[in-house]
Amino acid sequence: MTTAAARRPVSGRFRLDDKVVVVTGASSGLGVAFAHACAEAGADIVATGRRRDRLEQTIELVGTAGRGGLVVAADVASADGCRSVVDAALNRFGRIDVLVNNAGVEDHDPASRLAVEAFRRVLDVNVTACFELAQSAAAVMPRGSSIINVGSILAYTTLDIPTTAYSTSKAAILGLTRSLARQWSGRKGIRVNALLPGFFPTDMVAELPQGLVDDRLPMGRMGDPDELAAALVFLASDASSYMTGSELTVDGGMRLT
């Protein structure tokens, strides 16, 4: 049992000082907010995605928080891309403490017209790449590390719009998270949790009809990216040290509808 003298203040458990955080899909939207928030909590950031120019903007933002950053332009939907991210992080920082599996794509074609190739592509990016990068990172992460798989409230509900492949992929993320948590939490000392966002102002959401989201939310508004990023820092930090295999929903109450 921790003695009073050795006890770490609760406020300090939310810090990520000198940790190294890998964020996929860090070129836009929520990935940028995640990278910035983790840097503000004290972490160095490895930002990965396919658009180098946008990634460099993310790392500039990380620099304003006084932390180091690294751009790795890679397609994590390929095994080579996953390995390149892990290798680059180790070469620059010597470690990986947190992996944020955030990269994702979506679909909007009705199921009757959704091409199998398009369905497969969504699952490759949203699920297979998530697993491959987690597998590569877990091989080098120290005990006490954290993997956060970014899912979606659409694993549980719909907006009455076709998101067949996307919803399927986000439901699969929940099963993947539970399985990895069961296998790695004790043996490797790596916690694995899922963060389930509702709707936030991103490029994906901008394509939806105006008012479609707000009308479904008990809180009457979309979330601010910082509201979600704060939950991610919680899962990344020691503040959630007794959580693994969990699903943290941040959706403005949408799951209630």
Cα angle for residues 87, 42, 199 (degrees, 5° grid): 85
Is 6 domain-assigned?
no
Note whether 59 and 47 are within 8 A (CB): yes
User: CA distances (Å), 122 to each of 41, 95, 118, 199, in order?
Assistant: 32, 30, 6, 19
Q: Which of 60-64, 107-111, 246-250 has the lowest mean pLDDT?
A: 107-111
Distance CA 56, CA 71 (A): 6
Is 134 domain-assigned?
yes
Secondary structure letter of residue 87 according to DSSP: H
Distance CA 43, CA 195 (A): 19
* CATH (domain of 222): 3.40.50.720
Is 257 domain-assigned?
no
Please, where are the H alpha helices in the chain?
Answer: 29-40, 52-64, 79-93, 116-123, 129-138, 164-184, 203-206, 225-236
Is 4 domain-assigned?
no
Amino acid 1: pLDDT: 47
Active site members: 166
Distance CA 11, CA 19 (A): 17
Amino acid 256: pLDDT: 83
Name the maximum alpha-carbon separation found in the chain.
64
Helix then strand then coil, % of the chain, to nearest 5: 45, 15, 40
Does residue 69 carry a pLDDT above 90? yes
User: CA distances (Å), 127 to each of 78, 142, 151, in order?
Assistant: 12, 24, 10
Return the closest-CA partner of residue 103 out of 73, 129, 82.
129
Distance CA 181, CA 192 (A): 5
Which of the pair, 6 or 99, is modelled with greater confidence? Answer: 99
Is 91 domain-assigned?
yes
Give me Rg for the CA atoms of the chain.
Answer: 18
Distance CA 241, CA 237 (A): 7
Is 255 domain-assigned?
no
247 three-class SS: strand
What residues form DSSP beta bridges with 45?
A: 21, 69
Domain carrying residue 127: 15-249
Structural domains counted in the chain: 1
> For 154-190, what is each residue's pLDDT tens digit?
999 887 788 999 999 999 999 999 999 999 999 999 9
Is 10 domain-assigned?
no
Residue 195 Ramachandran class (φ > 0 left, ψ -120 to 50 alpha, else beta): beta
Question: What is the percent of the chain with per-residue pLDDT over 70, rounded to a whole number?
Answer: 93
Mean pLDDT of 118-126: 95
- List CB contacts of 47: < 8 A, sequence separation 6 or more: 23, 26, 27, 31, 35, 55, 58, 59, 62, 69, 70, 71, 72
> For 225-257, what is each residue's pLDDT tens digit?
999 999 999 999 999 999 999 999 999 998 887
